[in-house]
Amino acid sequence: MTELSPARTRVAPSPTGDPHVGTAYQALFDFAWARRTGGQFVLRIEDTDRARLVEGSEQQIYDSLSWLGLEPDESPVAGGPYGPYRQSERLETYRPFVDQLLADGHAYHCWCTPERLAEMREQQQASKQATTGYDRLCHGKTAEQRAALPGFQPTPVVRMFVPDDVPLVFDDLIGGELSAPRPDDQVILKADGFPTYHLAVVVDDHLMGITHMVRGQEWISSTPKQILLHQWLGWQVPAFAHTPLIRNTDRSKLGKRKSPWAKLSWFREQGYLPEALLNFLMLLGHPPVHEGDDVQSLDEFVQHFDWSRINPAGAVFDLKKMDWLNGHYLRELSTEELTARIIEFEAARGRALDHNQRAVLSHAVPLVQPRMTLLGDALSAIEFLLTEDDQLTVAEDARASLPPNAGEVLAAAFTALEHLTDWDHEMIQANLREALVDGLGLKPKVAFAPVRVAIAGSKVSPPLFESMEILGRESSLRRLVGLRETL
Ligand code: GLU
């Protein structure tokens, strides 16, 4: 195999809200390629659009990447040799490049007021002009010359002077040869002196030594402008990898409003494990590393990761697969680990378990683990074990399901267990079987149903005899009596 040169990749989210799952998806590819080539994965915060900043969003970005185990090598918090990694702290960086572009004639000042630009756009639309975009009224003019015309504002923006022969085709590691529409004379410096995204991204990617620009396909149309800027400034153009858009199974876009799973925080709140989400993201667009087996570790993914294997046609977000993977990873955990994760999960949603409840949980985890899909399933399944006997409520449907001889069954069960000294599930089962199946001549399926309702308050529960063992003798007997008295 040819030696791969160390790549420097980056994910560059804007802290404008709850991080999108696409950010983690791209970070995964960045991480994989950087690891595979022995390079570095950088996290840069693109916060120059001050109006759109959302407080706490930057922290959420760090938290969610770290939750997933996609720790950047360089970032605003980790630091690194190319800092600062937050664009708002780099504002002086961009100006000299704007001056250079102005001096070289690749950029020009534009004094047009927003009103004039709006009017221009309206006219273009009304006359169905073929070429739309900025009409270059300001190009080649001094401030004085321009001031003599209408729609002038004294503080200019700076625009790119996009040549007629701007290359519109470029190579993409995922999509192959891609083409984009002709760009407008993009603003690169705003009137307030802040660079726009297009300038900042190019300057920072260059100064940070980024070799691969990995981002969503929605940025394809920006690529020709950014290539131009790299070329004008005499810089090497990085490689591009535009990742397929993530879609729902019905092909709809994964928007945060309609699809809550578009938000990274959703997965944690729902009780998904980070390893399951990570595995799920690996399978979005990239075939499994072992054919026919969806389960893979991050290490395996890194070893086999290849841009050319990514399907550019799209990544389908199949929540059923996500659930299946989560169940798989939940079952992989040791009892101790799973117990700890459940405790942490419940605490995060405001349910702190005391010492006794934790002890019950750790005994009950092996009973529920085989059937769990989400972390929260554990407590809902064993709530009856954490409830005081006199607080246990019997569900309507469970009560309605009781057979006419339920009283008799409960009485026989009580007698069978009353003097049982070795309180373990095998003995419980043997004694109940003897009393109810052999003694009363009931079929096993019917025999234990009233006992289950008495113990768990519902028709379904984790394995009954094991549950009774955990609950203990006193409580179990009390519950048998308790239900009987209400019949
Ligand atoms: N700041 C841009 C975003 O929020 C980054 C786009 C890019 O990666 O070039 O998605």
Residue whose CB lies within 8 A of the most ligand 1 atoms, among 9, 20, 46, 47, for a mutation test: 46
Residue 3 falls within a domain, yes or no? Answer: no
pLDDT in tens, 323-378: 999 999 999 999 999 999 999 999 999 999 999 999 999 999 999 999 999 999 99
Residue 295 falls within a domain, yes or no? Answer: yes
Quick one: 126 and 251 in the same domain? no
The predicted model gives 468-481 an average pLDDT of: 98
Last residue of a domain, one of 316, 344, 375: 316
Task: Evaluate whether 469 touches 462 at the Cβ level (below 8 Å).
Answer: no
Residue 258 annotated as catalytic: no
Residue 302 falls within a domain, yes or no? Answer: yes
Burial classification of residue 199, based on how many CB atoms lie within 10 Å of its CB (0-12 exposed, 13-18 middle, 19 or more buried)? buried
**CA–CA separation, 127 vs 185, rounded Å?**
20
Residue 150 falls within a domain, yes or no? Answer: yes
In the chain, the percentage of residues whose pLDDT exceeds 70 is: 100
Residue whose CB lies within 8 A of the most ligand 1 atoms, among 41, 215, 246, for a mutation test: 215
* CA nearest to 473, candidates 427, 418, 426, 409: 418
Residue 323 falls within a domain, yes or no? Answer: no
Last residue of a domain, one of 263, 284, 316: 316
Calculate the CA 75 to chain-centre distance.
19
Alpha carbons within 13 angstroms on the beta-carbon side of residue 133 total 14
Amino acid identity for residue 469 in this structure: E
What pLDDT is stored for residue 298 in this prediction? 96
Tell me the residue range of the domain where 53 lies.
8-86+246-316
Residue 1 falls within a domain, yes or no? Answer: no
Quick one: 201 and 144 in the same domain? yes
Looking up residue 69, the CATH number of its domain turns out to be 3.40.50.620
Quick one: 294 and 399 in the same domain? no
Q: DSSP secondary-structure letter at 187?
A: E
Q: Is 330 in the pocket of ligand 1 (CB under 6 A)?
A: no
Mean of the per-residue pLDDT values for the chain?
A: 95
Reply yes or no: is the peptide bond before residue 114 cis, omega within 30 of 0. no
The predicted model gives 104-121 an average pLDDT of: 97
Looking up residue 408, the CATH number of its domain turns out to be 1.10.10.350
Quick one: 94 and 203 in the same domain? yes
User: Is the pLDDT score of 165 beyond 90?
Assistant: yes
Q: Is 204 in the pocket of ligand 1 (CB under 6 A)?
A: no
Written as six digits, the tokens of 124 are 């273009």
pTM reported for the whole predicted model: 0.92
Counted domains in the chain: 4
| Per-residue buried b or exposed e for 254-279, using 16+ beta carbons within 10 Å of the residue's own CB | beeeebebbbbebbbebbbbbbbbbb
User: Is the pLDDT score of 448 beyond 90?
Assistant: yes
* CA nearest to 434, candidates 445, 423, 442, 446: 442
Q: For residue 381, what are the contacts with CB-CB under 8 A and spacing of at least 6?
A: 367, 368, 371, 372, 461, 462
User: Is the pLDDT score of 3 beyond 80?
Assistant: no
Annotated catalytic residue: which of 190, 256, 321, 459?
256
* CA nearest to 219, candidates 205, 240, 236, 190: 240
Last residue of a domain, one of 324, 351, 385: 385
Amino acid identity for residue 284 in this structure: L
Q: For residue 382, what are the contacts with CB-CB under 8 A and spacing of at least 6?
A: 360, 361, 364, 367, 368, 462, 467
Strands (E), 322-403: none
Q: DSSP secondary-structure letter at 440?
A: S
Quick one: 251 and 201 in the same domain? no
Residue 324 falls within a domain, yes or no? Answer: no
Quick one: 94 and 220 in the same domain? yes
- The CA 170 to ligand 1 mean position distance, Å, reads 18
Q: Is 49 in the pocket of ligand 1 (CB under 6 A)?
A: no
Quick one: 299 and 176 in the same domain? no
What pLDDT is stored for residue 2 in this prediction? 62
Quick one: 153 and 222 in the same domain? yes
Q: Is 201 in the pocket of ligand 1 (CB under 6 A)?
A: yes
What pLDDT is stored for residue 110 in this prediction? 98
| Cα angle for residues 480, 485, 487 (degrees, 5° grid) | 100
**CA–CA separation, 365 vs 339, rounded Å?**
7
What are the counts of helices (DSSP H) followed by strands (DSSP E) for the chain? 21, 11
Residue 328 falls within a domain, yes or no? Answer: no
Quick one: 236 and 265 in the same domain? no
Q: For residue 77, what are the contacts with CB-CB under 8 A and spacing of at least 6?
A: 62
Looking up residue 371, the CATH number of its domain turns out to be 1.10.8
Quick one: 103 and 239 in the same domain? yes
Amino acid identity for residue 246 in this structure: I
Quick one: 108 and 201 in the same domain? yes
Quick one: 150 and 227 in the same domain? yes
